[in-house]
Chain A
C-alpha cells in the first residue's frame, strides 16, 4: 500500500516526511497536480460496478486501490504547468484527479472538503469557542461605526486579514498589526476588517497536532521586545521554539476542535498571556512544522509519516463510502 503526497518539488518539509517513510520501507508516490497533464498522468474506469484507477508520476505507476493515504501538503493548481494552461484545463484536471482520489478508500490528511472549510477564520473562531478554547474578543465588520464602538470597548486592538491571504498586485504581506487608539476607521467600509483585542503575550505557542498526538512548542517574547511587534512571523526575536507541556484543558479543546473539523492535522497558534493562559488565534490546517522540528527537536515529521503509513481499516458494513471514514483519525 502506497502513500500519495501531493505537493510541489520545492517543499522540503515534505522531504522530511518522505525520508521517514523511505526509512520505514513504506512506498511513496509524490507528485504535483500542477504537472497534470504531462509528467503526471492518470486513468480510471468505472465498469461492472467497480472503479479501477491508476496514477503515474516520475516513472512510478500506482493503482488507486493501492493507496493507503493521501497527504495534501502544498499542491500546485492542477494543470498550471501545462503547455497551454487555462482555467478550463485546471478545472478539468482538478475534477479528474481529486474526483478519482475521492473514489478510493484512502485516508486523507486533510480531506479537501474539511480543508476548505477549515481555512475560514470566522468559522475557526466559532469552533474554538464551542470547544472551550479562549478566544480574544474579535470583530469582523464593514461598518465603520461598529469598529469605532469596538475600539471604545477594547482600546488595545490588532488588525489582521480575515482570510490569511496576502495581496499579490503588487506582492505585499499584511502582518497582524496594532491599531493606534486614534485610528480613523472609515476605510473599514471598503473591505471586511478583522479587529481583535491584543493579547499582551509573554510567549507564542505553536501546537502541532498529528492525529491525536500533540507537539506544543513555545517561543518566549523578550521582556524588552517592541510591543508593536505583534506577529511572530515578522518579529526579530532570537529566541528558539522549545517543547512545552500542553495544559490538559487545551489538549481537550484542540482534540475536540480537530474532531469537529474532521482534520487529521492542524497547527494551532496561541498567545500565552502573563497569567499563562493560551489564547486561540488560529488553526492552520496545513501549517508548516519543519521550523518547529528543527528548533525544538520534536519528531513531528515522523508522526506524520506514521499517520500516513497506518493500515487502511477495512470498510465496515454500512460505513460511509469514502469521505466520512477517511477523515477520521483512526490509528491514533
Chain B
C-alpha cells in the first residue's frame, strides 16, 4: 500500500548540526562567538548549508 513516489524516498539529511552562531535578541541577528554577524560570513554559511534549499525540512517545503 506504499504510494508510488515513496519508492524513491531516501533518509532525510539530518540538519540538526550544531552551528557556531547564536541568536541575539537585542540585535535580532545571529552572531558568531567573535561578535561578527553570521550573515556576513559567507564561508560559514556555505559550509553549513544554512541558506540552501531545505529538502527534507520538517517544517517548511518552500525550497
Chain A positions near chain B (C-beta within 8 angstroms): 9-10, 12-13, 15-16, 18-19, 28-30, 58-59, 74, 76-77, 119, 147, 159-168, 170-175, 177, 185, 187-188, 190-194, 231, 233-234, 284-291, 293-295
Contact = CB atoms under 8 A, between A and B. Distances in A.
B63 interface: yes
Contact of A286 (B39, B58, B62): B62
A10 B30 contact: yes
Contacts, number: 147
Contact of A174 (B5, B26, B54, B57): B5
A188 B5 CA distance: 8
A164 B29 CA distance: 29
Contacts of A171: 11-12, 14, 56, 58
**In the complex, which of the residues B29, B45, B49, B53 has the most CB atoms of chain A within 10 Å of its own CB atom?**
B53
Contacts of B61: 119, 163-166
Given A166-B56, A188-B4, A175 B63 contact: no
Contacts of B5: 159-162, 174, 191, 193-194
Given A166-B55, A288-B51, A290-B51, 11 more contacts: A12-B30, A12-B38, A15-B30, A16-B51, A74-B60, A147-B4, A174-B10, A188-B4, A191-B3, A191-B6, A193-B4
B51 A190 contact: no
B12 A164 contact: no
B2 A187 contact: yes
* B2, B10, B56: residue with the most chain A Cβ atoms closer than 10 Å: B56
A222 to B, nearest CB: 19
A40 B25 CA distance: 12
Interface of B: 1-14, 19, 21, 23, 25-26, 28-30, 37-40, 42, 45-46, 49-63
Nearest to B55: A233
Contacts of B21: 12
Contacts of B52: 233, 288, 290-291
A119 B62 contact: yes
13 contacts: A16-B39, A77-B59, A159-B8, A173-B12, A174-B8, A174-B9, A187-B3, A192-B3, A193-B3, A194-B5, A287-B53, A288-B63, A289-B51
A59 B9 CA distance: 44
Nearest to B28: A30
Contacts of A58: 25-26, 28
Contact of B57 (A161, A166, A289, A291): A166
A19 B40 contact: yes
Contacts of B10: 172-175
**Of A10, A147, A159, A170, most B-chain CB atoms within 10 Å:** A10
B58 to A, nearest CB: 6
A167 B5 CA distance: 11
A193 B7 CA distance: 11
B38 to A, nearest CB: 5
A16 B29 CA distance: 9
B8 to A, nearest CB: 4
B28 A167 contact: no
B56 A173 contact: yes
Contacts of A119: 61-62
Contacts of A10: 19, 23, 30, 50
